[in-house]
Copies of this chain bind each other. A is one copy, B any other.
Amino acid sequence: MNAAIGQLIGVGVGPGDPELMTLKAVRALGAADVIAHFAKAGNNSHARGIACAHFRPDAEELPLLYPVTTEIHRHDAAYRLAIGAFYDESAARVAEHLMAGRTVAVLSEGDPLFYGSYMHLHVRLAHRFPTTVIPGVTGMSGCWSQAGAPIAQGDDVLMVLPGTLSEEDLTRRLAQADAAVIMKVGRNLPKIRRALAAAGRLPRALYAERGTMSDGFVMPLADRPDDKAPYFAIVLVPGWEGTA
């Protein structure tokens, strides 16, 4: 192995509260030569905001800015081409640093291999460079902890469902789950509410925004109006009612 080759580290920075970073993530960021983070063009990286207090003072930052594709539907071939090219180019920029012997930490909100952008670099680079993944506390754990809502116990089946599923599919799956987490809420909220009601799961469902962040909150979904919800809001359906 070429001793001059650098190491790739996928770093989970947790759900939002900087105190929910792991000791391992903090140490990795204090040692990394280069710190890469994904963001939408014109926005700050959330992950950077969580973790920046721990960057090595002379570390080089590598912002990876998503192309603007709001005009294109995400199942469209043009979208897939644009986003694929973006990940290819991002991986090439990271690889350049690794080839020069620099350690590159890639920030990931929550856990890197659980629905994270880091995965797109991982599949392009992990077979070529020494790679470590530092797991993190997921956004969903942050939300159910903030709510104090036991999510699953014993023989419970827990489903993680994207809010993008059809109403019929959501309803059918919710009826078969003991506990559920619905991600990608955003404009899917009215559909998610109808599916929960049809599956008999609306009464216990919770709506969470920015769990563990200073402005985060959790409330019964039944009390939440059907107006605009952010894409990263999640809905929790606790499965366990606490009978021992």
Contacts and interface: CB of A to CB of B under 8 A. Distances in A.
A135 B20 contact: yes
A79 to B, nearest CB: 11
B133 A135 contact: no
How many copies of this chain are found per oligomer?
Answer: 2
Contact of A22 (B14, B27, B242): B14
Contact of A159 (B135, B142, B159): B159
Interface string A16-39: 011111111011000000000000
A229 interface: no
Interface string A78-122: 001001100110000000000000000000000111110001101
A136 interface: yes
The A interface is mostly helix, strand or loop, or mixed, namely mixed
A114 to B, nearest CB: 6
A150 interface: yes
B159 A111 contact: no
B160 A158 contact: yes
A148 B20 CA distance: 22
Contacts of A112: 145
Contacts of A149: 113
Contacts of A14: 22
Interface stretch (A58-66, A161-169, A201-209): A161-169
A113 B162 CA distance: 21
A135 B212 contact: yes
Contacts of A87: 244
Interface of A: 10, 12, 14-15, 17-24, 26-27, 80, 83-84, 87-88, 111-115, 119-120, 122-123, 126, 131, 133-138, 141-142, 144-146, 148-162, 164-165, 173, 176, 212, 240, 242, 244
For the complex of A and B, list the 10 residue pairs with the smallest distance between their C-beta atoms, beginning with the closest: A123-B242, A19-B24, A135-B141, A135-B145, A158-B160, A133-B145, A84-B244, A119-B150, A155-B162, A111-B141
